[in-house]
Amino acid sequence: MNNLEIKQVQDLDELALNNLADKRDEWLKSANEIDLTKKTEIETYANYLMPEYINVVVKRILSESSEYNTLVLRSEDGSPLPFFKAGQSSAVTISIDGNKMTRSYPLSSNPEETKDGEWRITIKNNEEDYVSFYLFNNLKIGEKFQMSAPFGDFYYNPLRDAKNIISVCIDNGIIPIYSMVQAICNNVEDFNLTIFYLAKKENEFIFKEEINEYASKSNKIKINYILGDYNDSESNLINKINEAYINSETSIFISGNEQLLDFLNKRLSDLNLPKKYIRYYSFIPSNKVKKVSKYTLTIHINDEKYEIPCYNNKTIMQALEDSSIYIPSKCQVGICGLCRSELVFGEVRIVNDKRSKADKRYNYIHPCSTYPLSDIELIVR
Ligand code: FES
């Protein structure tokens, strides 16, 4: 360190610096011409294995219960589907009555089935969500739509997660966990999974028989069904989680809705788990309001300006969909950043705010997870 000579700026060879620009031009002229727009062989192959978007066709529709259907999907042109980690999602983009819409769904199949060219997604008959309602009630075998490459960090990563995972899930939150159960039983994944599956009524448990069968074959899977309102049986649920909690080398995977996340966040803070050991999967955020208020949303997209109605109980993204305005989106829960837009003015409520410090500072929001609380103006970047 003592031998290191640090020159002052004024000691540098000013002439050499001035000549740099000329030299750079010489170097550029003498270099071989390469068409940088042309993909290399490796890029082409990587894109073939993991394309950004895939056109799929519905091969079968399986009824899981009166409220859930599973769609069995293959690529339209027979090309391989990208491999995914159990717990990841894919975004469906579909045109309904001429309106393009996107929703993300966790893949419900065993990742191993990708080798046979199949993916599955499980859809809830959700009247409040236009796309899910359509996919459940109107979709036919042979229908085609687009899906994104798998995404999301709700999966077991041995470099990040503890080998013992406790999962607390409710409602359709079981879907990514079901994929993990299959992956463990088929030796695609190697971790211990203890599941607390919550439901208000017995018939709301889906994949129960299948999960029981997998659990009976593998000592790595433990399943606990908890019926009733977990708010009422708070001590029961938390006690059970505490019993299953082996030591600080345990990750917690929470899968469900905002209410469950809030409920557990408050109570699990006692465990003092490192942040990386808690992972979330949640569906479209909800905003229950006492009184529905209507506002005006002014939005700028590609030099066009629109003024449309929006409501405090619907996300800005839903307001855009209702007015047949499409902006690119993927995760639908404010994580991927694809719908990122600049808020010019107005008050909003952001659910599960995951924005970067810079986005907060410069007023960028994600319309997919943001509710208007006044008239607002937005620029889609
Ligand atoms: S779609 Fe991912 S942040 Fe909005």
The verdict on the CB of residue 325 being under 6 Å from ligand 1 is no
Ligand 1 and 327: CB distance under 6 A: no
Residue 104 sits in the same domain as residue 58: yes
- Which atom of ligand 1 sits closest to the CA of residue 328? 1
Same domain membership, residue 271 and residue 300: no
- 244 and 301 assigned to the same domain: no
Domain holding 138, by residue range, is 46-148
Ligand 1, pocket-test mutation among 368, 370, 371, most atoms within 8 A of CB: 368
Q: How far is the CA of 79 from the CAs of 40, 76, 143, 176, in angstroms? A: 20, 8, 17, 24
Q: Is the CB of 338 under 6 A from ligand 1?
A: yes
Ligand 1 within 6 A of CB of 331: yes
Q: Which two tokens mark 339? A: 């719908």
Residues 238 and 185 in one domain: yes
* Inside any domain, residue 31: no
pLDDT tens sequence across 197-252: 999 889 899 999 999 999 999 999 999 999 887 776 555 787 788 777 766 688 99
Q: Domains in the chain: how many in total?
A: 3
Q: Out of 283, 329, 364, give the residue to mutate to test ligand 1, the one with the largest number of ligand atoms within 8 Å of its CB.
A: 329
Identify whether 14 is part of a domain: no
- Would you state the pLDDT for residue 267? 75
The Cα 269–Cα 265 span in angstroms is: 6
- What is the predicted pLDDT for the residue at 170? 92
134 occurs within a structural domain: yes
Question: 158 lies in a domain?
Answer: no
Amino acid occupying residue 291: K
C-alpha to C-alpha distances, 85 to 218, 280, 348, nearest whole angstrom: 20, 15, 34
**What confidence tier does 5 reach under pLDDT thresholds 50, 70, 90?**
low
What pLDDT sits at residue 83?
Answer: 94
pTM: 0.85
pLDDT of residue 300 exceeding 60: yes
370 domain residue, yes or no: yes
Do 349 and 256 lie in one domain? The reply is no
Rg of the Cα atoms in the chain: 25
**Ligand 1 centroid from CA 107, angstroms:** 18
Same domain membership, residue 208 and residue 187: yes
More confident site: 285 or 347: 347
Q: In this predicted model, what pLDDT tens digit does every residue of 7-28 receive, in sequence order?
A: 665 555 677 777 777 788 888 8
End position of a domain, from candidates 282, 304, 320: 282
Q: Would you say the CB of residue 332 lies under 6 angstroms from ligand 1?
A: yes
Select from 104, 119, 148 the last residue of a domain. 148
CATH number of the structural domain spanning residue 373: 3.10.20.30
Closest atom, ligand 1, to C-alpha of 369: 4
Which one of 282, 316, 344 terminates a domain?
Answer: 282
Whole-number pLDDT of residue 311: 95
pLDDT at 288: 75
Residue 14 in 3-state DSSP? helix
Closest atom of ligand 1 relative to the 329 alpha carbon: 1
Same domain as 366, residue 326? yes
Residues 50, 143 within the same domain: yes
Q: Per-residue pLDDT averaged across 166-170, rounded?
A: 93
Question: Which of the pair, 257 or 120, is modelled with greater confidence?
Answer: 120
Cα–chain center distance at 294: 29
User: Probe ligand 1: pick from 103, 284, 335, 356, max atoms within 8 Å of CB?
Assistant: 335
Residues 170 and 245 in one domain: yes
Reported as a single tens digit per residue, the pLDDT across 111-158 is 999 999 999 999 999 888 889 999 999 999 999 999 999 999 999 999
Of 120-129, 170-179, 191-200, 261-270, least confident by mean pLDDT is: 261-270
Whether 261 shows a pLDDT value over 60: the answer reads yes
Q: What's the CA-to-centroid distance between 230 and ligand 1, angstroms?
A: 29
Residue 102, beta-bridge partner list: 93
- Residues 262 and 239 occupy one common structural domain: yes
Ligand 1 near 220 CB (within 6 A): no
Residue 144 shares a structural domain with residue 76: yes
CATH at 106 = 2.40.30.10
354 CA → ligand 1 middle, Å:
11
DSSP code, position 295: E
**Does 102 contact ligand 1 (Cβ within 6 A)?**
no
pLDDT at 348 over 90: yes
